[in-house]
Structure 1
Amino acid sequence: MFVVIRFRVGESEQAGFGERLQAAVDVLAQQKGFVAARTGRNVDDPELLALTLEFENVGSYRRALSPYDVKLTAVPLLSQAIDEPTAYEDLPI
């Protein structure tokens, strides 16, 4: 399963945000079931950033958000995300 989390961040704030984003990914990457992460900036709107996470399954994703270090580091950042559904299951194409 994969997660798509979008953020609206002013260009002047992106350096500090990027450091916080890296810290969040680092702590999430230590969780069981974590597979990969990517970050990116929208090519048409440079203030729109995206974080994609891949986990083995939805249960491992949800459990990954529970440890104390994740709640301390990642959850505050994730709470700044655009309010929209984020978790997706893979579909055969």
Structure 2
Amino acid sequence: MLAVIRYSVPEAQSQEFLKQGQNIIETLQAQPGFLRGRLARSVDEPNLWALVSEWEGAGYYRRALAAAKMAMYPMMILMLHEPSAFEDVYVSGQEE
């Protein structure tokens, strides 16, 4: 399952956001079911960032969010409020 949380980050806050994003990924990484994570920035709109993580399932992701709530709290004002959990329906390039 794929989780995508997008943020609108003013340029003046980008360095602090990067540090906080790394902290969130490290917090999520310590949770059961975590597969991988990344923090990405739009090449077309530099104020748009995405915290992307992959999980063994939606239940793992939802429990990890509860565990990471304190790490995520300072960035919540920058978060775009939209659905963040996506179920894989087709994946290319993985070994069977």
Match of 1:32 in 2: 32
Q: Kindly provide the amino acid, as one letter, of the partner of residue 63 in structure 2.
A: R
Aligned residues: percent identity?
38
Provide the rounded CA distance (Å) in 2 between the counterparts of 1:56 and 1:62: 11
Match of 2:9 in 1: 9
For normalisation by structure 1, the TM-score amounts to: 0.88
Structure 1 stretches of 5 or more lacking a match? none
Q: Please list every run of at least 4 consecutive aligned residues from structure 1 whose deviation after the TM superposition is greater than 2 angstroms.
A: 74-80
- Map residues 1-93 of structure 1 onto 2, 5 A cutoff: 1-67=1-67, 70-78=68-76, 80-92=78-90
Q: Is the 8 A contact 2:6 2:50 kept in 1?
A: yes
**Which residues of structure 2 form unaligned runs of 5+?**
92-96
Count matched residues.
Answer: 91
User: Aligned with 1:66: secondary structure?
Assistant: helix
> SS of the residue aligned with 2:83?
coil
Distance 1:87 1:22, change over 3 A: same
Aligned partner letter, 2:11: E
Distance 1:4 1:29 in 2: 15
Measure how far apart 1:62 and its partner are.
Answer: 0.9
